[in-house]
Amino acid sequence: MRAIEEIQKEIAHVEYARAFLDERRTALKAESDQHRVDEFAKATITKRLAEFFKAHGLYIVDVNHSERTEGHYDLAKQIWRSRKVLIPFVKCLSNNMTKSFSYDTSKITLAQKNDIRNFCLVLANKNWLTFTQSDKTFEIVPSMQGEQRGFIHGLWAEEVTLYLIVKALNDFTKKRHLKHKLFWDLKLKQIDPITANAVDMQLDLVAQLTGICPLRNY
């Protein structure tokens, strides 16, 4: 068995080597980034966006600018438009994803019951749940998986936020005769990175405005 002093000396050598390799890896990554071909700066649709962030010491690692999938967007709009009654229902559904439950509707109006029923019909058509309705309750049997559970658990709020932003942006640009482009899931890296992480910043949504006013990014 080796002496403790010998073991500690070897540990110190290993830690020094690891620190040296980490520092060297960071330096090589930074040098490599300086020679990278910035495809986003070359592409017409993202050129001005890339120029904006480059002026702030960042370059684009990845960005989505194609047609946004709206599989759950209509659901989010439905929740927001009847939010007084549907948000409490969605929260209850989120807490009971793996078991059937009764949802009390004895203290809400007929119109609010219809809002819940219409929402449940949409979810039933998507095979997210089955339900039956009586005068005072809805009997709910959830059957959601993966992405569906994620939406009910909280992603619906992100879609609602997107809906409100797009609604406000469309109204704003129309009144001021501006055009706009939307980018989402924008991943950014510092030009002179402090760490070797692949991404230093991520933005959920970026709006690029063009028209009478100069380019602005939000």
Q: How far is CA 215 from CA 33, 99, 208, 212, in A?
A: 27, 51, 7, 9
**Total of domains in the chain:** 2
In a domain, 21, yes or no: yes
pLDDT in the model for residue 119 = 97
Q: Does residue 79 fall inside a structural domain? A: yes
Residue that finishes a domain, picked among 99, 124, 155: 155
- How far apart, in whole angstroms, are the C-alpha atoms of residue 196 and residue 186? 18
Q: Is residue 41 part of a domain?
A: no
Q: Taking the model in full, what pTM does it have?
A: 0.61
Q: Label residue 185 left, alpha or beta by phi (over 0 means left) and psi (-120 to 50 means alpha).
A: left
Residue 86's domain comprises 73-155
pLDDT at 197: 67
CATH number at residue 95: 3.30.110
Q: What is the pLDDT of residue 128?
A: 95
Q: Is 188 inside a domain boundary? A: no
Given 155, 171, 191, which residue is the final one in a domain? 155
Residue 52 lies in a domain: no
pLDDT at position 2 is 75
- Please report, in tens digits, the pLDDT of each residue of the chain (218 residues total): 778 777 777 887 778 788 877 777 776 666 665 555 678 888 888 999 999 998 988 889 888 876 665 668 889 989 999 999 999 999 999 999 989 999 999 999 999 999 999 999 999 999 999 999 999 999 999 999 888 999 999 889 888 888 888 888 888 888 888 888 888 889 998 877 666 667 888 888 888 887 654 444 44
